[in-house]
Structure 1
Amino acid sequence: MEPFTLATATAKVQSAEDAWNTRDPERVSLGYTPDSRWRNRDTFLTGRDAIVAFLRDKWSRELDYALRKSLWTFGGDHIAVRFQYECRDAAGQWWRSYGNELWEFADDGLMRRREASINDVRIAEADRRLFGPRPPEEHGRDIPLR
């Protein structure tokens, strides 16, 4: 794999955001190597089957999920991103989750390692700002800190 450029790193981040916003675990898993290793909060996973199971469970609890990712930095075969997503739980409480991810890629361009640190903040429904996938005219826009 060639080292990332600003254009290819930005495209990789948008592609990941687009895939996650489908909430289709099988589709999302195809962006990762078959033996990809993850840390997501306090959960450690290895392999696509584990990723699919994890995402199925996640999206069964995190309803109306909408995600935004923003390129933080990149170098060689690594990318760091900031992200925010909003969802509601079964009781109707809305949440905004803030986080950072560290990504490492294999020679074929698939992600072989993902480490995610995430914090959750309760929000009122009136404070939501993410409604479904990002429209194309907003691609590349940074996400606000708060």
Structure 2
Amino acid sequence: MNSIKAKAASLTAIVFMLLVTGGVGQLNPDLGADLNSSVRLIFPDTPVELFDTTLDSALKIHSPLVVDCWELGCWPCQKMETTIDQMASDFKGRIVFGKLCTDFNPVTTGKYKVSRTPTLLIFNNGTLVYKHVGNYPREELEHIILTALHMR
């Protein structure tokens, strides 16, 4: 009796997968894009929240990576947050953006000598290639980032 239930459950799972994927052929293109988790994980369309404990692994996974170092109560940091969010979406597939609060991540702040905020740390292949301090209009920040990453 148990083997019949197991076979029925397996058959149900197969039928469900065929219905979801659109049959035995190729995936429905719209559905396939949603199921491609590697694109979402490697190039997310929103900034990745980073910490002292996660930055090293993020540098191994994401390249290039632009880290927005911000602090609580920093008005220029708050203004730049919208710009970083928009750029993360606009550059999905090319550049990953991350956010790191300097108030709670003293190891990273000390290692990269972040003394003022906002500061952008621009990494390529795990190596810091440029550090930028201050909030600028989006066009200038974009120029700085693309130039540092040799994408211009």
TM-score normalized by the length of structure 1: 0.25
Q: Give the structure with the higher percent helix.
A: 2
Q: Give the structure with the higher percent strand.
A: 1
Instruction: Point out the structure with max Rg over C-alpha.
Output: 2
